[in-house]
Structures are given as C-alpha cells and as structure tokens.
Amino acid sequence: MTAALAELRHRLGEIADLRRAERMLIWDMSVLMPAAGGGARAAQLESVERIAHERFVDERIGQLLDQLEPYADGLPYDADDACLIRVTRSDWEKARRVPAELSAEIAKARAESFEVWVDARERSDFDSFRPALERMLGLKQRYAECFAPYDDPYDALLDDYEPGMRTAEVRAVFDVLKPELTSLLAGGPSDEEEGFMRGLFPVDAQHALSLELLERLGAPAGEFRLDPTVHPFATNSGLRDIRITTRYAEDDLYSLFTAMHEFGHGIYQHGVSPSLDRTPMETAPSRTDFSMALHESQSRLWENLVGRSLPFWRWFYPRLQETFPDVLGDVSLERFHRAVNRVRRSFIRVDADETTYGLHIILRFELEQELVAGRLAVKDLPDAWNARFHELFGFEVPNDAAGVLQDVHWGDGLFGYFPTYQLGNVLSVQIWARVAEAIPDLEEQIERGEFADLLGWLRKNLYVHGRKFTPAETIERVVGGPIDPQPYLRYLRDKLGVPSTA
C-alpha cells in the first residue's frame, strides 16, 4: 500500500503543479499580459488543460485507487489518506465523463473570449461579444450533456461549483429570499448617496491603504500580492503564494471592500493544511468541484460582517480620514458607517450593498438557467437582462457596460457559479453566529483592530480541512445544519431596523 499511495500522491502532485501553472497563466493574462498576447495565451491554456485532464483521467489513477480502497476502508473517515482516496475517486469518475478535447476547447475559448469581453465592456457593445458568448454557451451545453441524464441541465454546471446541490434546492432558498429582499429594498432608507462617497480618492493612496489593511487582517507579508485588474478575483500557485486583485476608481472607495472580499478567498486557501498541499483537496477558488458557497461565505464574511461593521470602522475610520482629509475630514464616523451600509439601487453587482446584492445574483441565476436550457437566445440576452433588472430594481439600465457586460463570468464559461455568491452570503451569517458564540468579545477585538482570534477560529474549524469533506458535511460540521436563509434575513432586518415578519 505504501508504494501505491506514494505513486498516487506523485501523480496527483504533478497534476496539481499543472493546474497551478494554468492558474498563473490566467492571473498573468488578467493582470499583466499585453492585449496582443491573447492568441498565444489561449493556445498555452488549451495545451495545459489537455495535458492535465489526460493525466488525471489516466487508467493508472483508477488502478491505484482500486488498490488503495481496502487501505482507505480501514482508516478513520477524516484521516487525510482516506479523504484523499475518496475525493480523488469522486473527481476521477466525474472527469472521465468529459472528453479531453472538450475540456481543452473550453480552456481555449475562455482565454480567447477574455480580451473580447474587456474590449466589448469598455465600448459597451454587446454585439461584439455575442459570438464569443454563443460559442462558450454551446461548449458548456455540450459539457452538461456529458452528465446526462439529469433532472435539469443546469444541475451539471452547478455541481462544478456546489457539488451535490441541485438547481431545485437553490431555487427553494432563493424563493424565500427574493420577496424578502424586494420588500427590504422597497421599504429601506433613501437611495440618495452621501456626496462624500464620490470624492476624489487618489489610486496610489487607495492601494497603499488596501495593502496596510490586508496585512492587519492577517495576510502575511511576502505571501500575498494585490494587483489591479478589470474584474477582481483571487487565485494562487501554492499555499504561500496567494494572488488577489482589485479594481480602483478615483471617485469611490469600493476598492477597500473588494480587497477585503478577495482577502477572504485568499486567506481560506492560505489556511489549508500543508498535509493537503499538491492534492485534489486544496480549495483554490478558481478550481471546480469545491463548494464556492463556502468560499464565498468567507469573502462575504470579511467584506461585510467585518468590513461593514461599526466596530471595524471605529478602528479603521481614523486611518481613512488621515489618508483622505479633504473629503472625509469633517465627516463623522456615524455618517460614514451609514453610507457604506445604505440600501441603494445600483447597476453594478460588485458595488452593491448587502441587501440589493442578492437581487443582482437572483437576476443572473434566473437568466443563466434559461440560457443553458435553450429557452433564451444569446441575441435576446440584453433585452431580457434589462427587463428583469427593471422588474427587480425599478429603473432602466443605461447601457450594456452597466448591464449584461459587467461580469466576466459567462464569457469565462462559469455558468452555475453566480448562485454560490448569495448562498455564501447566507452561510456567512450562520458561520458568524458560531464565531460569536466562541469569541464573546469579538466586537471589542475588532474595534481594537485585532483579528487573530477570528482568523484562528476560522482556520481551525473551516480552512484547514480543504476539500476533505463534501460541502454538506463541511457545512454541518461548521454551523450544525444545512444552509438556512432565515438567520441572514434576520441579520439584514436588524441592520436596517426593520421589524421581523416572523
């Protein structure tokens, strides 16, 4: 058994290295690569994807798993080796249903569509992006067919980002959330935004402040990078090489919340046990077959439960005022805190407040189901988007850049990803309740700018396990039950001062 396990680990380690190289090619494409490099990068990603896929679905992996099954059966369920064999078996059987050529073609199409999307978004021209999106949708429909029969073709795509969950389960959660969020939006405070939130905030100062904030939150110097990009994301090439990105604008401070959001992804990956390194049990946010609801619970926990809280701003607001005295010097803490928590109708998902954010996700979830099922043609997507947005938010989308082109996800083939953002919102509140029970003076610590106990609890109870357990098992271990929208709704009502409907 020792020889078989060593060979399996060696093979999986090489595949992990290929996947990490692939992620770095994507990171470079999004952050540093000249636009003219897109063609060569697409070919590189196609080759790496094909090689990694072929290596993983090799018959020898299956033979080794067969040899190791009796060994795994004799181990405790949560033993690293038992989990490695169980997780690898599940991934291997799933991957073998997808032809290597299709997997490689999707990787190439992702790279080729990226620059097309960037240009189309900049010019607010959906028609120039439409062929790339039609191609990607067709590829993902072919991918879904690899897993037929199914109750819903969307199930096959959702499973890549929330394994084991079905579309009907997401709908059940969203059916609870949608009317409640709509009601909170209609009955919330004024949409009017404080003028100081649109002041002049030089980008260099924002970047320096973001780096300072990330280090105070717990990102070790020399192990994290923060770089600007068109659409923020997080990735990694190892447990000690975490890449997070953000987006700056001189007339707002959303970059601080974006940095905290991506820090949540990065610190999750950073906290995975070293014993799981270079195996399928790492939790890289850019890989599939890991619960992105869990990953998004951490990005949203650090962005919102920490980053929009009054204790946080009691600590950090003086630094913000010191950095931008001309804009914020005379603005009280209370006014600023209200401003960053205001319910406000907005076009852009990543800039949305906590309450309306869920409606942005529900809009995308509904539309992409229709696209995948063939009930909505890509050519009709902008009109469908604009009509659905007006139905949810009550005003007109001014252009494609503020509407259907704002997100990179569909051009990147990430159909099935969007609902995990809102599932992550829901989970973040359930997890926060457990943290607060374990750390009674949590708010006082945050007010002092102390995050070690919070981070330590999350590492011990969540991050360290990586993919050792299924999403349902992990959620049960951490919060003691399944995803439940009610604590999240109570949290929003409390924050907005709205009486409970229960």
Catalytic positions are: 262
Per-residue buried b or exposed e for 53-76, using 16+ beta carbons within 10 Å of the residue's own CB: bebbbeeebeebbebbeeebeeee
**What's the rounded Cα separation, in Å, for the pair 17 and 145?**
29
Q: End-to-end distance of the chain based on CA atoms, in angstroms?
A: 56
Residue indicated by tokens 């076009």? 347
Identify the H or E element spanning 434.
helix 418-438
Phi then psi dihedrals of residue 440, to 5 deg:
-60, -30
Give 224's strand partners. 242
Tell me if 373 sits within 8 A of 347, measured CB to CB. Answer: no
Sign of CA dihedral 21, 27, 31, 35: positive
For 131, other C-beta atoms within 10 Å of its C-beta total 12
Q: Are 400 and 124 in contact (CB under 8 A)?
A: yes
Give which of 394, 378, 281 is closest to 345, Cα–Cα: 394
Q: Rounded distance, CA 293 to CA 285, Å?
A: 10
In this structure, the number of other CB atoms found within 10 A of the CB of residue 502 comes to 7
Instruction: Give the span between the Cα atoms of 2 and 278, in whole angstroms.
Output: 18
If one counts every other C-beta atom within 10 angstroms of the C-beta of residue 201, the result is 24
Select from 357, 277, 228 the least CA-distant residue to 84.
Answer: 277
Residue type, position 222, single letter: G
Length of the chain: 502
